[in-house]
């Protein structure tokens, strides 16, 4: 299933079948009601016919291996990150989504002229059906191919550059020039650029431009100088880079494990700061397939009490972004995993299909 070999993968070897089964029921139970699970409960819950005493022996082993821990002497056991990891990697049984459910998701992700709208819809969708926070990384300009460029003269040495990319997305930029250009000068420059570069990736355009600029300028005619001036600014590297859409943050306030207001504030600050979350999502962009970060695995302290489930989505056959869900470590992985997986597929489909 969607869970590929993961950097954090823990082998289930060294754990007999019974221990695995018990770990599984323990975690399922803990996910269900958030209380430490004791041996008596476990004995009733598991299909194994074992007395609490026997189960205690197994628990002692699991604790020694660092898969579970008891918050204090007389409480039941709670899974550790390592425990969750093993659960997710080798014990989990995924419930595939119902057809009905998939269809209703599909409705919310209909194709549109504005990709931004679909991305936001995906983020909302994720947050709504999981009751956690949904996140969608916005495709970077790098992946975009130029369809058309136009220039409009504004007053005071300013020119409005309009880029149409990917057939239906539009970007504007106001650039400042050394002198006022006439409408027709700009028209000519645009024609030249469209002829030369339509269909190419933006970063290719940028590189080629840089190269041409390097060549002796004296050789160039007036038109080329104009073109070079406006184009170099138009296609200049954006410093901003990547960004994401986050929805349903407030859902996270509903969970007890987030009840600590300082921890919560740290998390929300991280959402606003964006850097850490972006970095995490970028990582998932590289890996192929669904990714799960459990608790401290993410490497960011603010996410210590959270798990993040991500999946990349595509435009054409190229991965352009990642989407996912952020919630408490104690989340229903068996539901969240297929939800993230399906949403990624549906989003890809919607993006590839013009309105």
Partner DNA sequence: GGTTGGCACTCTCTAGAGGTGAGTGCCAGC
Partner DNA sequence: GCTGGCACTCACCTCTAGAGAGTGCCAACC
Which residues form the interface with DNA (CB under 7 A)?
18, 36-41, 49-54, 56-57, 59-60, 63, 70-77
In the set 213, 265, 301, 316, which binds its own copies (CB under 8 A)? 265
- C-alpha to C-alpha distance for 321 and 314, rounded to whole angstroms: 7
279 lines the binding site for its own copies (CB under 8 A): no
Nearer to its own copies, 126 or 342 (CB): 126
Distance of closest approach, residue 91 Cβ to DNA, in angstroms = 19
Estimate to the nearest angstrom the gap between the alpha carbon of 112 and the chain centroid: 21
In the set 91, 264, 278, 349, which binds its own copies (CB under 8 A)? 264
- C-alpha to C-alpha distance for 218 and 7, rounded to whole angstroms: 55
Tell me whether residue 325 is exposed, middle or buried, using C-beta atoms within 10 angstroms of its C-beta: 0 to 12, 13 to 18, 19 or more.
Answer: buried
Piece of the chain touching its own copies by CB under 8 A; list 144-152, 234-242, 309-317, 327-335? 144-152
245 lines the binding site for its own copies (CB under 8 A): no
- C-alpha to C-alpha distance for 103 and 254, rounded to whole angstroms: 28
In the set 32, 75, 259, 353, which binds its own copies (CB under 8 A)? 259
188 lines the binding site for its own copies (CB under 8 A): no
150 lines the binding site for its own copies (CB under 8 A): yes
152 lines the binding site for its own copies (CB under 8 A): yes
Piece of the chain touching its own copies by CB under 8 A; list 17-25, 246-254, 280-288, 317-325? 246-254
Nearer to its own copies, 263 or 345 (CB): 263
Distance of closest approach, residue 268 Cβ to its own copies, in angstroms = 5
- C-alpha to C-alpha distance for 182 and 82, rounded to whole angstroms: 66
Angle at 322 between CA 273 and CA 277, to 5 degrees: 20
> Phi/psi at 221 (nearest 5 deg)?
-90, 175
In the set 60, 75, 107, 174, which binds its own copies (CB under 8 A)? 174
Beta bridge partner(s), residue 294: 307
How far is residue 51 from each of residues 24, 26, 29, 207, 240, measured CA to CA in Å?
A: 17, 15, 18, 71, 60
Positive or negative torsion for Cα 230, 235, 236, 242 = positive
240 lines the binding site for its own copies (CB under 8 A): no
Number of amino acids touching its own copies (CB under 8 A): 30
- C-alpha to C-alpha distance for 125 and 118, rounded to whole angstroms: 10
The footprint of its own copies (CB under 8 A) covers: 113-114, 147-148, 150, 152, 154-156, 158, 160, 162, 164, 167-168, 170, 172, 174, 249-250, 253-254, 259, 261, 264-265, 268-269, 272, 354
């Amino acid at each position: 299933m969607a869970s590929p070999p993961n950097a954090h993968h823990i082998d289930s070897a060294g754990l007999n079948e019974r221990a695995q089964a018990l770990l599984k029921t323990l975690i399922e139970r803990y996910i269900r009601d958030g209380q430490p699970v004791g041996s008596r409960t476990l004995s009733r819950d598991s299909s194994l016919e074992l007395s609490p005493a026997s189960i205690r022996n197994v628990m002692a082993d699991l604790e020694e291996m660092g898969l579970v821990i008891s918050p204090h002497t007389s409480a039941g056991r709670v899974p550790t990150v390592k425990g969750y990891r093993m659960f997710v990697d080798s014990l989990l049984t995924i419930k595939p989504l119902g057809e009905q459910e998939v269809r209703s998701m599909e409705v919310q992700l209909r194709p549109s002229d504005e990709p931004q709208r679909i991305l936001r819809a995906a983020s909302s969708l994720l947050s709504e059906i999981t009751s956690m926070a949904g996140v969608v990384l916005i495709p970077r300009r790098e992946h975009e191919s130029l369809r058309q460029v136009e220039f409009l003269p504004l007053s005071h040495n300013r020119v409005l550059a309009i880029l149409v990319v990917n057939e239906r997305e539009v970007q504007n930029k106001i650039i400042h020039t050394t002198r006022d250009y006439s409408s027709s000068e700009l028209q000519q420059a645009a024609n030249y650029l469209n002829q030369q570069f339509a269909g190419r990736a933006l970063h290719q355009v940028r590189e080629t431009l840089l190269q041409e600029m390097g060549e002796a300028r004296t050789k160039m005619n007036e038109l080329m100088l104009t073109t070079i001036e406006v184009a170099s600014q138009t296609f200049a590297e954006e410093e901003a880079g990547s960004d994401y859409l986050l929805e349903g943050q407030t859902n996270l306030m509903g969970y007890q494990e987030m009840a600590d207001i300082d921890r919560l504030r740290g998390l929300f600050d991280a959402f606003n700061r964006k850097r850490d979350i972006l970095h995490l999502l970028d990582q998932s962009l590289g890996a192929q397939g669904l990714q799960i970060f459990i608790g401290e695995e993410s490497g960011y302290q603010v996410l210590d009490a959270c798990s993040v489930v991500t999946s990349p989505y595509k435009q054409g056959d190229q991965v352009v972004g990642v989407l996912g869900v952020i919630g408490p470590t104690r989340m229903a992985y068996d539901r969240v995993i297929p939800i993230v997986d399906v949403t990624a597929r549906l989003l890809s489909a919607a993006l590839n299909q013009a309105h």
